[in-house]
């Protein structure tokens, strides 16, 4: 029996994938090469969760003497903060990594190319994360028989997080395009924004805020990302030949 989380994951994925392809067609000048970055980004949640974040958290718990399976009430504050920051630090690094190495680095020639590459990588990562979570929930077997309405919160959260991933990655990649100190600042800004939108869920798990308040934190972070992304893009150095910006 298929978990009822799957149809909602299909809906979220279909809507955002259609939106991403529409934007690429109308605003970026075409699907290629950006569609390949969407596909590459979709594979990265498995890599970062299974092979980077999970081993790091286990190592940190062992090094700090935090017993496995310990409840939140007995977990040291420093470890809770580490759990809050581990996703922003690792995910923003791996999402933007394809923009550092060929063939992605070739698209750092103009801010426009860097913008769409970053958005594509982030869109892909967000969609891949939808299915990584869906697989984790469905594989547990604990949700079999639950109505689809039990996962409306999941669908709403993922619908908000997908564009967040896209904009955060675009900010980091635009930092690479500007080079110099901006290569570091772009990444740190993306990490900070990621930590901000994760703060709501983190505080909700600790019982400090409601899930509704957590969603509003994500909405506020989404607006802040859009503002910062537009500002960084407008201030990014243009090529010597402005005509280069008109190429897809």
The residues spanned by each domain of the chain are 5-66+75-143+150-237
CA-to-CA distance for 213 and 220, rounded, in angstroms?
11
pTM: 0.91
Per-residue pLDDT of the chain (248 residues; tens, 9 = 90+): 678 899 999 999 999 999 999 999 999 988 999 999 999 999 999 999 999 999 999 999 999 988 877 666 678 889 999 999 999 999 999 999 998 888 889 999 999 999 999 999 999 999 999 999 999 998 887 777 888 888 998 999 999 999 999 999 999 999 999 988 999 999 999 999 999 999 988 888 888 888 888 889 999 999 999 999 999 999 887 766 544 454 44
- Among 154, 231, 150, 217, CA closest to 189: 231
């Amino acid at each position: 029996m298929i978990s009822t989380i799957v149809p909602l994951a299909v809906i979220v994925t279909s809507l955002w994938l259609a939106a991403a392809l529409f934007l690429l067609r109308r605003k970026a000048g075409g699907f290629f090469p950006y569609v390949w970055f969407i596909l590459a980004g979709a594979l990265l949640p498995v890599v970062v969760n299974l092979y980077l974040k999970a081993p790091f958290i286990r190592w940190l718990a062992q090094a700090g003497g935090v017993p496995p399976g310990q409840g939140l009430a007995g977990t040291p504050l420093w470890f809770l903060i580490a759990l809050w920051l581990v996703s922003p630090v690792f995910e923003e690094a791996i999402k933007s990594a394809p923009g550092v190495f060929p063939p992605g680095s070739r698209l750092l020639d103009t801010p426009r190319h860097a913008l769409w590459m970053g958005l594509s990588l982030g869109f892909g990562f967000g969609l891949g994360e939808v299915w990584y979570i869906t697989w984790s929930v469905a594989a547990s077997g604990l949700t079999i028989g639950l109505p689809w309405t039990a996962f409306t919160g999941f669908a709403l959260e993922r619908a908000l997080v997908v564009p967040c991933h896209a904009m955060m990655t675009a900010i980091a990649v635009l930092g690479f395009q500007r080079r110099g100190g901006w290569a570091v600042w772009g990444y740190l800004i993306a990490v900070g924004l990621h930590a901000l939108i994760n703060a709501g869920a983190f505080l909700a798990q600790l019982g400090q805020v409601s899930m509704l308040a957590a969603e509003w934190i994500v909405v506020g972070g989404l607006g802040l990302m859009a503002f910062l992304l537009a500002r960084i893009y407008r201030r990014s150095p243009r090529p010597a030949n402005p005509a280069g910006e008109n190429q897809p």
